[in-house]
Amino acid sequence: MSIRKKANRRKQKRRYRPTLFFSLLVFLILFGSIVTYAYTEYHAGKTETEQQISAKNKTNPSVKESPKKDTITAKEPENNQPINVLLVGVDSSTDGLARTDTIMIGQYNPLNGEAKLASIMRDVYVEIPGRSNNKINAAFAFGGVDLLQETIEQNFKIDIHYYTIVNFAGFINTVDTIVPNGLPVTIEQRMFDVNNQIDFQPGNHRLHGEDTLKYVRFRKDNENDFGRVRRQQETLKLLKDELFTLSGMSKIPRLIGALEPHLETNLRTSKMLSLGRDFVLNPIGRIETIRIPIDGSFQDVYYQHAGAVLEMNLDKNRQAIYDIFNGSEDEEKSKEENI
């Protein structure tokens, strides 16, 4: 090889080194900026919420936050399996007690962004471990989230990896953080409940946090709790659509910070932020939903010890839970044929 060719090759090598170094530097700066932004927004949201709680408690000393409990050890999913989370909405009263208002199981697959949601109606009649059969929300009253989780796992044969309990203030914060201009909803018929200060007229509305809470809790119509579940699922889909926009995803760290003071969960903060990153990389598309009990699988029954309940065909509803979270046998066969 000639001296001139060797010199040219050395020049080419020297020419590429600054480019590679610059690319690496830009990547490190970008990555550092994203991490710094995430933690800054997370702490800002958390600080603002803690200040709001403190101010509220000073002006109204009768308001009490529910005491924090020892958390159940999380069951980490194996082999990149989808994550199953028990979602519990509670009504915290001034006596420090919390009553279940919403019971859901949410599943998220970080690898492809698939999301599924099963709403379990509060009056479903189930076997509660160590207790007599009762409404499923009685499990929370008897033994908190640990007994509720055990009850769901035993009756529906599903593994719950994490749980999250959020109070009404947390739900209001969520709505106002994601959609500060209000959540767009269409109300088909008048919703009126004088006891809960609800009076929504038919038409298109933009509901802020407090009104959205009233909207999803309303049940003074012919649909009763069935309508509540339907509106809860529709509202979560609307919030999802608002969150997974370019501007919405930038709010995820602040949203986690704003929610944390209102949460009881065994999800670590680092895990929540990690899931926030997964949401950005694999945004949730369509949310597949189901209501338990499914249509045609239950009857209204009255028991002296439990009151009016929904007595369901457990086998049918257990299969429905399995099908949505694990895929039906037909779906599994289809996947095998396509491999």
Output the pLDDT for position 64.
45
Output the pLDDT for position 3.
53
Which value, to the nearest 10 degrees, does the dihedral of the CA atoms of residues 154, 157, 162, 163 take? -50
Q: Is the dihedral of CA 154, 158, 164, 170 positive or negative?
A: negative
The residue among 72, 64, 49, 261 whose CA lies nearest residue 148 is 72
Percent of the chain predicted with pLDDT > 70: 73
Residue found by looking up tokens 């608002």 in the block: 242
pLDDT of residue 137 exceeding 50, the answer is: yes
Q: Higher model confidence: residue 4 or residue 78?
A: 78
Backbone angles phi, psi at 267, to 5 degrees: -85, 120
- d(Cα 337, Cα 339) in Å, to the nearest integer? 6
Q: Which residues pair with 108 in a beta bridge?
A: 83, 115
pLDDT digits (tens, 9 = 90+) for 145-197: 999 999 999 999 999 999 999 888 889 988 998 999 999 999 999 999 998 89
The full set of domain ranges for the chain reads 64-338
Backbone angles phi, psi at 164, to 5 degrees: -140, 125
Output the pLDDT for position 216.
93
User: Largest Cα–Cα distance of the chain, in whole Å?
Assistant: 100
pLDDT digits (tens, 9 = 90+) for 232-250: 999 999 998 888 887 777 7
Q: Higher model confidence: residue 58 or residue 153?
A: 153
- d(Cα 75, Cα 136) in Å, to the nearest integer? 22
Backbone angles phi, psi at 66, to 5 degrees: -60, 135
C-beta of residue 282 within 8 angstroms of C-beta of residue 322? no
| The token pair that represents 164 in the structure block | 């999250």
pLDDT digits (tens, 9 = 90+) for 272-303: 777 777 777 777 888 899 999 999 999 999 99
How many Cβ atoms are within 10 Å of 152's Cβ, its own excluded?
24
Output the pLDDT for position 258.
79
Strands 83-92 and 162-167 turn out to be parallel
pLDDT of residue 57 exceeding 80, the answer is: no
36 burial via Cβ count (<10 Å: 0-12, 13-18, 19+) = exposed
Average pLDDT, the chain: 80
Sequence-ordered list of residues with C-beta below 8 angstroms from that of 109, at least 6 positions apart, any chain: 82, 83, 115
Output the pLDDT for position 262.
83
Q: What is the mean pLDDT of residues 33-41?
A: 55
Sequence-ordered list of residues with C-beta below 8 angstroms from that of 208, at least 6 positions apart, any chain: 175, 176, 182, 183
Output the pLDDT for position 338.
40
pLDDT of residue 32 exceeding 90, the answer is: no
The residue among 292, 151, 126 whose CA lies nearest residue 225 is 292
pLDDT digits (tens, 9 = 90+) for 59-112: 554 444 444 444 567 777 776 789 999 999 987 654 555 678 899 999 999 888
In this predicted structure, which of 5-14, 60-69, 214-223, 270-279 has the lowest mean pLDDT?
60-69
Sequence-ordered list of residues with C-beta below 8 angstroms from that of 230, at least 6 positions apart, any chain: 223, 291
Q: Higher model confidence: residue 200 or residue 284?
A: 200
C-beta of residue 165 within 8 angstroms of C-beta of residue 88? yes
Q: How far is CA 165 from the centre of its chain?
A: 10
| Bond preceding residue 293 cis, omega within 30 of 0 | yes
**C-alpha distances out from residue 98 to 65, 94, 170, 224, Å:** 10, 9, 14, 22
Sequence-ordered list of residues with C-beta below 8 angstroms from that of 64, at least 6 positions apart, any chain: 92, 94, 95, 96
How many Cβ atoms are within 10 Å of 216's Cβ, its own excluded?
24
How many helical (H) and strand (E) elements, i.e. helices and strands, does the chain have? 10, 14
| The token pair that represents 161 in the structure block | 């990896």
CATH superfamily for 64-338 is LCP protein (3.40.630.190)
